[in-house]
Amino acid sequence: MTEIERQTKTHLMSLFKRHGLRPRTDLGQNFLIDLNIIEFVVRSAELTADDVVLEVGTGTGSMTTFMAQEAGHVISVDVDRNMHMLAGKAAAPFENITLLHQDALKNKNNFSPVVLAEIQKQLAVSPDRRLKLVANLPYSVATPVMSNLVATEFPWVRMVTTIQYEVGLRMQAGPRSEHFGALSVWLQSQCDVEILKKVGPSVFWPRPKVDSAIMLVTPNAEKRACITDRAFFHDYLRRVFNYRRKYLRSVLAGMYRKELGKPEVDEILAKMSLMESVRAEELGVAEHLQLSQHLQARLATEE
């Protein structure tokens, strides 16, 4: 508990002033300063000695060191060299913390190879080890970090993250709602998604202009087993929701124009009893999965 007691607005302002630093708005640096919220995030992660924790957005390392007291190992990533330096001082007494100074993502669809290699290294220490993502995620990377972790084959068992509240609504949204999209379908097709708590700007320094949510995402093996090819499904979702309000018939014919004509697309839609005027935003999670698998099966016969 002693480490997180330092993460207050007064402490951070003094620390930054001493080092001649300012929070970087371009990196979405909003530091948690409410000790109750920090404790809530870590407690909700249910950390044990078998856990490898991935934290994206190390900050000054206060939550990092707090988690290291419970977890088997903490891998924390920050692209800001100044935060890496400050976190290094906080983490110095701990042998079970690896700090990586770099972007966690290679691109929006893939983690950095360095981050992947470190996760594999720490998981390989014991067959009992499992992965958890626990982080105050910078708003700009929350979606790719969480969706890309779902896409991996790592034995992840829990995500507890602070993210923009609107993104949290997108994650658990249903069809025909303004927040429903590719992220909603991708997560809900394989996971159970819950907003644990809505938090206002006052729990951060500097204060963001929007509310945040503390999310709990857990894998659902039964749901995941229904997906025959997750890479194809992921690609299908990203592409089809680029045109969420257009007629699905035209979107699909354009997506697979080299392999399928409109008659073939019509046949697939008819098989599912879908109207030609249906839109991607109107289909539920199960319908999108079924449609993608019909498409994949038809594409396989065209090869």
List the domains of the chain with CATH numbers.
4-222 (3.40.50.150), 230-302 (1.10.8.100)
Q: What is the pLDDT of residue 28?
A: 86
Q: What is the pLDDT of residue 2?
A: 46
Fill in the amino acid letter for 195. Answer: I
Whether pTM > 0.75 for this model: the answer is yes
Residue by residue, pLDDT tens for the chain (303 residues) are: 444 546 889 999 999 999 999 999 888 899 999 999 999 999 999 999 999 999 999 999 999 999 999 999 999 999 999 999 999 999 999 999 999 999 999 999 999 999 999 999 999 999 999 999 999 999 999 999 999 999 999 999 999 999 999 999 999 999 999 999 999 999 999 999 999 999 999 999 999 999 999 999 999 999 999 999 999 999 999 999 999 889 999 999 999 999 998 999 999 999 999 998 999 999 999 999 999 999 999 999 876
Q: What is the pLDDT of residue 303?
A: 65
Q: Is 219 within 8 Å of 156 (Cβ atoms)?
A: yes
| Contacts with 251 (C-beta within 8 Å, 6 or more apart), sequence order | 240, 243, 280
Residue 144 has which token pair?
């790719």
Torsion angle of alpha carbons 210, 211, 216, 219, nearest 10°? -30
Q: How far apart are CA 65 and CA 71, in angstroms?
A: 10
Q: What is the pLDDT of residue 197?
A: 98
